[in-house]
Amino acid sequence: MAAKSGSNECYLYGARAAHLNVIMRRPLVIVTLLSAIGGWPAYADSNVLSGNADILSGDTLSVAGTVVHLTGIDAPETGQSCRVRSGRAFDCARISATALMDLTVASQVSCRLTGKQIRGLPEARCVAGGL
């Protein structure tokens, strides 16, 4: 993936756009969600949020009324378009948000706040459905 200088577009080569969601986006989200499993205490912790998630973007969600940014994820921004080699453009931000939605739908989401902030939002490591 290469970014066009001075542009809000990225160009993707070597795979069809529809498959990039599965190939590139989901593994990053899954790894981040799974990385939060180890070391969480079994007792209630004020740094842990739990509940259903509302997906706001590919790297931002709301859990228990708190909007958090996922640790280690930098998803495309709203309005960013991506292109495949043929020149066909697609909405990168929508695809990344849909991938995150697929991972969290009908699941209890637990997020542990890291104590850091990204773009003014608390950073968190999250797990969905106990995975």
Task: Give the predicted TM-score (pTM) of the model.
Answer: 0.64
Q: Provide the 8-state DSSP code for 4.
A: P
Mean pLDDT, the chain, rounded, equals 75
Q: What is the pLDDT of residues 13-55, one digit of tens each?
A: 433 344 444 444 444 444 444 444 344 444 456 799 999 999 9
CATH for 2-128 is 2.40.50
For residues 85 and 58, what is the distance between their CA atoms, to the nearest angstrom? Answer: 23
Going from N- to C-terminal start, the domains of the chain cover 2-128
For residues 17 and 99, what is the distance between their CA atoms, to the nearest angstrom? Answer: 13
Q: What is the pLDDT of residues 80-97, one digit of tens each?
A: 889 889 999 999 999 999
Q: What is the pLDDT of residues 63-78, one digit of tens each?
A: 999 999 999 999 998 8
Q: Is the pLDDT of residue 9 over 80?
A: no
Using an 8 Å Cβ cutoff, are 104 and 55 in contact? yes
